[in-house]
Amino acid sequence: MIYYDKVSKKYPDSSVALDNVSFGVEPKEFITIVGPSGAGKTTLMKMLIAEEWPSEGAVFFESANIHRLSKKEMIKLRRRIGTVFQDYRLIPNKTIYENIAFAMEASGRTDREVASDVPHVLELVDLGHKIWNFPKELSGGERQRVAIARAIVTQPDIIIADEPTGNLDPTNTYEIIRILRKINELGTTVLLTTHNKGVVDTIGGRIITMDKGKVIKDDKNGKYIL
Amino acid sequence: MILTTLKRITRTGFVNFWRNGFLSFAAIVVITLSLCAFGAILFTGAFGRSMLADVKDKVDINVYFALSAPETDMLALQKDLNHLPEVASTTYTSRDAALATFKAKWQSNALIMQGLDEIGSNPFPASLNIKAIDPGKYGGIANFIQNKNPTAGDGTPIIEKINYEQNKRIIDRLSKIIPAVEQTGIAIAIILVIVAMIVVWNTIRLVIFTAKDEISVMKLVGASNTYVRGPLVVSGIIYGIVSALITLILMAALAYWGDTIVLRLAGVEVASDFELVVNVLSTYFVRNFTQIFVIIMGAGILLGGISSYIAARKYLKI
């Protein structure tokens, strides 16, 4: 489904974010990418939505080179990928409802779909009662759940979650992971990065360990070892 | 689909305008100030044109005829002059009319009236007042009359004198000053407009800069450029419309009270005599309201909309 082919990313100051990374992702997999800060996890994720460009190598999504897509194809690709960021990236002057509705409207859903799906997905992340609040009125855990709701509401093929629990306490962390696993069980591929050992140990599944821009371990049923 | 998108973009634009209260307010203040510069230019232009027209109207030349000149010859000269393309109008004043005007003016002054009586006969010559379409044309008209130098049947010239030479200096000066004033006005106007546009452009850029994270999020969620930019442009256009309305109200107020205030400041007691001067701006505003409305509203919408459109471009590249 996704294939990173010998991807390297070097910055002009000659620091290396990614060094010859290759691996593939199968549909419906739950992959956790672990490693210390600066290992290149976030860069890897950003490549997938073309927020970053590789210096060498290529990233393929269903045999299409992501960085060679036209603008229109890029928009379509991004609609098939739901993204959850560590800093939530909700739109501050939109209500929770509007934040989620926006993703649906942007991908051209009808008003009726929006009106029925948004409350539904908010129930799913247990935030039905905060539907008309603004992001600043929510706690960190709640905001991250809104971000997840936004990522899944368009029913994407894949969810990428970059350190979604990075700013959260253990209870909220567990809650977020539980939701992500549920999404995965319903058939969506999930790509998660974390440096939280506890998280890794709860998840199990395929674990890719990175360090200094390289994949140092790719374990079908791994543990976090560093 | 296009209709739905348009509806959503417009709605989002309105909502953003309302929720970004302070930023919207700041943008409106700046655009309003710029539009006021436009308005000031329009008003100054109108006021200046009215003043210049007034001055131009006061410039004229008079031909004074000999006391013995026959009226038919004088009227023939007037007819010839009326055929000249440079001549805007001519007014013939007969000797009797000149006397009547003089008497009417000084009737309360016994001394002057007495002096007039002592002269016995009518001392006033007939005269021809000539107005040219342009102050620069008087030289040509004066030459025409001098070259023609019409004579009565017995060979004596009917023209006693032409006061062109006396007026020549002021006429020459005016024909130089008037175009200079007009050109300076246009130059100042252009500079003001450019400054206003730069200030507005920078303000809008700031407004959009604060939204740059949202723009990137929208893009990463899979929104098209149109979908992200649309609401920003709609907000920009709303800034323009609101600012234009405020400006028009301010201009109306200025037109209504402005002339009176200016005259008061100049120490002139406003009386009905001054009605012509007093109503320059309000007359101009009422007569040309459609034009002013289109200019101010158009400038506001273009300033707000285009600035937003261009300013958003930078952040859409993701």
What is d(CA B26, CA B32) in angstroms, rounded to the nearest whole number? 10
Q: What is the CA radius of gyration of chain B?
A: 31
Which pLDDT score is estimated for B265?
65
In this complex, is the C-beta atom of B8 within 8 Å of any C-beta atom belonging to chain A? yes
pLDDT at B297: 93
What is the band of A59 on the pLDDT scale with cuts at 50, 70, 90?
very high
Name the more confident of A186 and A226.
A186
Nearest to B20 among A93, A98, A108 (CB): A93
* A73 touching chain B per CB within 8 A: no
Which residues of chain B are within 8 Å of residue A94 when distances are taken between CB atoms? 15
- Asked whether the whole model's pTM tops 0.80, one would answer no
Nearest to B282 by CA among B254, B263, B262: B254
Instruction: Write down the domain spans for chain A.
Output: 2-219
Q: What is the pLDDT along chain B (318 residues), one digit of tens a residue?
A: 778 888 888 888 888 888 888 888 988 998 898 888 888 888 877 777 776 677 667 777 888 888 887 888 888 888 888 888 888 888 888 888 888 888 888 888 888 888 888 887 888 888 888 888 877 777 788 888 888 777 777 777 788 888 776 667 776 777 677 778 778 877 887 887 788 778 888 888 888 888 888 888 888 887 888 888 888 899 999 999 999 999 999 988 888 777 666 666 665 554 444 444 556 777 788 888 898 899 999 999 998 898 888 888 888 876
Contact B8 A105 (CB under 8 A): yes
Task: Select from A66, A4, A13, A61 the least CA-distant residue to A210.
Answer: A4
Whole-complex ipTM: 0.76
Could you write out the three-class secondary structure of chain A? CEEEEEEEEECCCCCEEEEEEEEEECCCCEEEEECCCCCCHHHHHHHHCCCCCCCEEEEEECCEEHHHCCHHHHHHHHHHEEEECCCCCCCCCCCHHHHHHHHHHHCCCCHHHHHHHHHHHHHHCCCHHHCCCCHHHCCHHHHHHHHHHHHHHCCCCEEEEECCCCCCCHHHHHHHHHHHHHHHHCCCEEEEEECCHHHHHHHCCEEEEEECCEEEEEECCCCCCC
- CB distance B1–A108 less than 8 Å? yes
Q: What percent of chain A has pLDDT over 90?
A: 19
Determine, for residues B222 and A110 on separate chains, whether the beta-carbon distance falls below 8 Å: no
What pLDDT sits at residue B184?
84
Domain annotation for chain B: domains and CATH numbers:
2-56+177-316 (no CATH), 67-157 (3.30.70)
Closest approach of chain B CAs to the CA of A20, in angstroms?
24
Point out the residue among A92, A106, A111 whose CB comes nearest to the CB of B227: A106
Per residue in A175-198, pLDDT (tens digit) is: 888 888 888 988 899 999 988 877
CA angle, B242 then B247 then B252, to 5° = 130
CA B248 from centre of chain: 17
Where is pLDDT greater, at B123 or A68? A68
Contacts of B19 in chain A (CB under 8 A): 93
Domain boundaries A2-219, corresponding CATH code:
3.40.50.300
pLDDT at A223: 61
Lowest-confidence range among A73-77, A183-187, A222-226? Answer: A222-226
Task: Answer yes or no: do A71 and B225 touch at CB < 8 A.
Answer: yes
Query: Closest Cα of chain B to A4: distance in Å?
Result: 20
Among candidate residues B211, B198, B224, B196, the one with its CA nearest the CA of residue B24: B211
pLDDT value of position B39: 85
Q: Which of B1, B19, B220 sits opposite A93 (nearest CB)?
A: B19
Q: How far is CA A120 from CA A113, A117, A175, B112, in A?
A: 11, 5, 18, 103
The per-residue pLDDT of chain A, averaged, comes to: 87
Query: What pLDDT does residue A95 have?
Result: 92
pLDDT in tens, A138-166: 998 899 889 989 988 888 999 999 888 88
* Beta-carbon-side half-sphere exposure of residue A226 (alpha carbons within 13 Å): 19
d(CA B306, CA B312): 10
Q: Name which of A14-23, A209-218, B164-173 the model is least confident about.
A: B164-173
**In chain A, whose CA is at the least distance from the CA of B214?**
A91
Which residues between 196 and 215 in chain B have a beta carbon less than 8 angstroms from any beta carbon of chain A? 213-214
* B24 inside 8 A of chain A by CB: no
CA distance B303 to A86: 38
3-state secondary structure chain B: CHHHHHHHHHHHHHHHHHHCHHHHHHHHHHHHHHHHHHHHHHHHHHHHHHHHHHHHHHCCEEEEECCCCCHHHHHHHHHHHHHCCCEEEEEEECHHHHHHHHHHHHCCCHHHHHHHHHHCCCCCCCEEEEEECCHHHHHHHHHHHHHHCCECCCCCECEEEECHHHHHHHHHHHHHHHHHHHHHHHHHHHHHHHHHHHHHHHHHHHHHHCCHHHHHHHHHCCCCHHHHHHHHHHHHHHHHHHHHHHHHHHHHHHHHHHHHHHHHHCCCCCCHHHHHHHCHHHHHHHHCHHHHHHHHHHHHHHHHHHHHHHHHHHHHCC
